Amino acid sequence: MNTKNLMRSFNPARVAFYEKENYVAYYQKRWLRLLRVSVGMVKESFSLSWPQAVYAAYLVARAEIAFAPFPTNNVPLAEAYMRRFYTFIKKVHHLEFDVEQVARLDVKWWEIHRRLFGDPQNQELVEAVAALYAATYGVELESVREAAYHRVQGMLYSDYWVNAGKPENSPLLAQEEEALLKSYTILREALAGKPTEAMAVAA
């Protein structure tokens, strides 16, 4: 299996779990925990070795820390760390995506998510996530829009959890992980060229 295929062969359940835990640590401002779960998330999402994942997760965590303060966050610094992150991913997997574009798109959806926090009218966020997928994987926007939609639904459950006071063991966290699992399952199928149920019905 070549490295390009490795990037598309992630385990949806593991990525969904780590992303949910990443949100929890981020909103609780537990930075050491954030770094630990980020290692798992980038390892699973980008098919990295443990040493590679530690370095990559450090870059993502620094980007998230730069972006976190409100309203005094540092977007240029966040983008700079994400450029370093995607430069590393590109080198590991010998990919051809535009590092500047992908890093900018990644931080852009963070900005949109913050602005639309807890708002179910979030099509702008869906489009931003789909644009990131399309640029990263080199696929058509339409092919990853459904995956983006369900990922944003997961974010929305996370937002509701934050607005509810971030209770431990909230059912919202289980709903978030379920939505993320659906998102990454659909994304993996789309990247493999397999029609999802919705695509099959449309066809």
Contact 128, 106 (CB under 8 A): no
- CB neighbours (10 Å) of residue 153? 20
pLDDT at 81 over 70: yes
pLDDT at 148 over 80: yes
Residue 50: pLDDT band (50, 70, 90) is: very high
- The domain total for the chain is 1
201 assigned to some structural domain: no
Locate 127 and state its tokens: 């489009």
pLDDT in tens, 51-62: 999 999 999 989
- CB neighbours (10 Å) of residue 174? 12
Poorest-confidence range of 104-113, 151-160, 167-176, 190-199?
190-199
- CB neighbours (10 Å) of residue 189? 18
200 assigned to some structural domain: no
In whole angstroms, what is the distance from residue 22 CA to residue 31 CA?
10
- CB neighbours (10 Å) of residue 132? 22
| Full residue range of the structural domain in which residue 157 is found | 3-195
109 assigned to some structural domain: yes
**What is the pTM assigned to this prediction?**
0.91
56 assigned to some structural domain: yes
